[in-house]
Amino acid sequence: MSTLITLRLPDEQVVVLDAAAAALNLTRAEIVRLALYRYLEDFDDLTVAVERINDFSDPVLNWNETRSVLLAMGTEQSD
């Protein structure tokens, strides 16, 4: 099932949208759907990141300790 959504865009955006659609051999609707899909995917990732930042029960890693462990792991793998 799909829902029709109508939106207004500034003329300048329509020009850019049409150029992108022509370059990619896609329709305006396909470009808008793809852009919205990617935006919402990023939004979801950012939402999770902010929730984790605000979770004070999640331990904060010390960069110097973490770096040392990672470097040691890299040294062990190359041996």
Quick: pLDDT tens for 4-36. 999 999 999 999 999 999 999 999 999 999 999
pLDDT value at 76 more than 80: no
Alpha carbons 44 and 7: distance in angstroms, whole number? 23
Q: What is the pTM of this model?
A: 0.60
Alpha carbons 40 and 6: distance in angstroms, whole number? 18
Per-residue pLDDT at 77: 66
Per-residue pLDDT at 18: 98
Per-residue pLDDT at 37: 95
